[in-house]
């Protein structure tokens, strides 16, 4: 899932981004409302993390305006403002969660992941466990099993496999995978997707479930072996 972090405090912004990337999320980091708006209108995000006070003003004003125009992406506000009135203002402006600084990194990651799940659920029903043949993907526990055997996969591998399995039987392009599983630091023409898919194929073993559709992308499906 792709997340946008909006914070003009460089050290904190990098720390938040690193924590979310470490949890397997693709993260874009900007330092003010105008570049945030450009990013929001360009990419699909599962969640946006806003610092309250930015160079252009209080981000709740921006979020409130966006909500009035129909924008539905979940928002988490990070702020040192901890009064009841501040929290109420955050929620009434259209915020979905409010975390006061200083905060525990693990709590931040858990809250962002929860908001991303909510975003995905609004786009369509999300299964807690995805199954393709003997492959089982536990979305909430972030676990992958093949024929009952627990596999060790990286956060990025899990993100790619989750999207492919969710689209079971449908082609997912490299561009779609980059858009959802990587951030703006990734060069679109790089081979990062091919590398991760190759790693997944090796870990998942035979029979192969991830198939390449030349010129189009990848598809997860069970294919019958042709008789000799």
Indicate if 112 and 133 belong to the same structural domain.
no
With cut-offs at 50, 70 and 90, classify the pLDDT of residue 227: very low
Indicate whether 9 and 119 sit together in one domain. Answer: yes
Confidence check: pLDDT of 127 > 70:
no
* In-domain check, residue 109: yes
8 Å CB contact between 172 and 218:
yes
CATH number at residue 34: 3.40.50.2300
- Residue at which a domain ends, from 123, 149, 167: 123
| pTM (predicted TM-score) | 0.65
Q: What pLDDT is attached to residue 36?
A: 95
In a shared domain, residues 29 and 77 = yes
Query: Looking at the structure, do residues 151 and 195 belong to the same domain, yes or no?
Result: yes
Q: What is the pLDDT of residue 176?
A: 82
Residue 201 sits in a domain whose CATH number is 1.10.10.10
Same domain flag for 102 and 195? no
pLDDT at 121: 52
Q: Kindly tell me if the per-residue pLDDT of 197 is higher than 50.
A: yes
Shared domain for 108 and 40, answered yes or no, is: yes
Residue with tokens 């009035």: 68
Residues 65 and 87 in one domain: yes
Domain range for 110 is 2-123
Task: Enumerate the H helices of 96-209 as residue ranges.
Answer: 105-123, 155-166, 174-181, 192-204
Give the pLDDT mean for 170-188.
77
Instruction: Give the pLDDT mean for 85-109.
Output: 88
- With cut-offs at 50, 70 and 90, classify the pLDDT of residue 120: low
- DSSP letter at 227 equals P
Query: Average model confidence (pLDDT) for the chain?
Result: 86
Shared domain check, 213 and 114: no
Q: Are residues 115 and 166 in the same domain?
A: no
Residue 30 has pLDDT above 50, yes or no: yes
Asked whether 57 and 13 are in contact (CB, 8 A), the reply is no
Q: What percent of the chain has pLDDT over 90?
A: 46
Structural domains of the chain, count: 2
Q: Looking at 67, 91, 123, which one is the last position of a domain?
A: 123
In a domain, 228, yes or no: no
Domain boundary among 58, 90, 123: 123
Q: Contact 196/119 with Cβ under 8 angstroms?
A: no
């Amino acid at each position: 899932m792709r997340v946008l972090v909006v914070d003009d405090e460089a050290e904190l912004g990098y720390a938040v981004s690193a924590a979310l990337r470490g949890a397997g999320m693709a993260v874009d980091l900007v330092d003010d409302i105008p570049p945030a708006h450009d990013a929001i209108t360009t990419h699909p995000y599962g969640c946006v993390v806003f610092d309250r006070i930015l160079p252009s003003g209080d981000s709740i004003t921006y979020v409130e305006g966006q909500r009035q125009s129909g924008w539905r992406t979940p928002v988490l506000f990070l702020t040192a403002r901890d009064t009841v009135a501040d929290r109420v203002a955050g929620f009434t402006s259209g915020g979905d969660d409010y975390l006061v600084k200083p905060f525990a990194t693990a709590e931040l990651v858990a809250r962002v992941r929860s908001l991303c799940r909510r975003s995905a659920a609004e786009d369509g029903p999300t299964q807690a466990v995805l199954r393709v043949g003997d492959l089982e993907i536990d979305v909430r526990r972030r676990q992958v099993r093949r024929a009952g055997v627990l596999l060790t996969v990286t956060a990025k591998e899990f993100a790619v496999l989750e999207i492919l399995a969710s689209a079971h039987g449908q082609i997912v392009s490299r561009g779609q995978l980059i858009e959802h599983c990587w951030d703006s630091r990734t060069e679109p023409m790089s081979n990062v997707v091919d590398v991760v898919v190759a790693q997944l194929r090796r870990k998942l073993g035979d029979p192969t479930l991830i198939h390449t559709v030349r010129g189009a992308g990848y598809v997860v499906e069970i294919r019958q072996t042709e008789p000799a």
